[in-house]
Amino acid sequence: METKAKIGIMGAAGFTGGELIRLLLNHPNITLVSLQSRSQAGKKISAVHPDLLGEIDLVFTENLESNLDIIFLCLPHGESKYVVNNQQFGTNTKIIDLSNDFRLQANASDFIYGLPELNKSKIKGAKNIANPGCFATAIQLALLPMAHAQKLNNDIHISAITGSTGAGIKGEPTVHFSWRTNNISVYKAFNHQHLGEINESLLQLQPTLSNEINFIPYRGNFTRGIIATTYTIFEGSIEYIKDLYKTFYKDQPFVFISDINIDLKQVINTNKCIIYLEKQGNKLLIISIIDNLIKGASGQAIQNMNLMMDWEETTGLHLKSIGY
């Protein structure tokens, strides 16, 4: 029997760390060896993630074990860069960072931007991966086919709403139930941090892109998921656009084009992105949906791991949506 890859997670007590544990427990090619959390060191995993009672016997540790094959960094923005620059890892250890620290080219060092639908060949040969942001994933997947066809020639307008888990487990008061329930709000209008990586990816495919990307993010009154509505001026037919998208994503196992309007529950608890396209006059509407914790974070990180390790891309990610 082939030896299984030894996995460690730094920041395993948070939302993305917990989601990684849940997904990796059913991955056939790995063994969870070391789950680090300074704040929860010494506690059982199920004391922090109660749904994992009976699923895992490990406890959180102050530090990671050595000689790991793959390390996932689920740390607050800014901490990953410090860890990578100051902590010794094994010569052959691969790192997948889920923070914002290495996503932009100016900060990338030897990290590859891990959007499989854009950089699959580079990911396969990478030692370190910068996992994309959740909003960035939903928005980029909505726009990549247009950029590839050099068709983003007008301003782009985006509204997207995310669940409370997008703010992290130590978020501001705006993630608390008493504030979030029956409530909705705009934040970081026009200057959200994910715009940088979105711009870089689109320019990678359409170097002449110079139009405005106007992004309004919303805090939603639900726990998980992102729905993004994007529109731009486009004079071509809806048939052309649908064919463009279906052709671009034909070999991508987690992106699907729907012929009927979509809703968020279709992707919750899956690694899918589903896209719906509609024309109204000269306006093209693109609706994209993902689970922010899976395709927008932990699931995409595992997808990247599979590519890096030359495993089947969908391994451990055959997941069921909640449906209702």
Contacts of 177 (CB under 8 A, 6+ apart): none
Beta strand pairing status for 5-10 and 283-290?
unpaired
Q: Which helix (H) or strand (E) holds 239?
A: helix 238-248
Structure tokens at 230: 């994007």
Give the Cα separation of 278 and 261 in Å (integer). Answer: 9
User: Got the DSSP string for 54-114?
Assistant: TT---B-BSSPPSS-SEEEE---TTHHHHHHHHS---TT-EEEE-SSTT-SGGG-TTEEE-
Tell me which of 70, 134, 241, 273 is the catalytic residue.
Answer: 134
Sign of the Cα pseudo-torsion (271, 143, 137, 314, in order): positive
Q: Is 134 a catalytic residue?
A: yes
Backbone angles phi, psi at 261, to 5 degrees: -55, 155
CA angle 270, 271, 275 (to 5 degrees): 95
Per-state percent for the chain, helix, strand, coil, to nearest 5: 30, 25, 45
Give the Cα separation of 96 and 72 in Å (integer). Answer: 5
Give the Cα separation of 178 and 164 in Å (integer). Answer: 12
Catalytic residues: 134
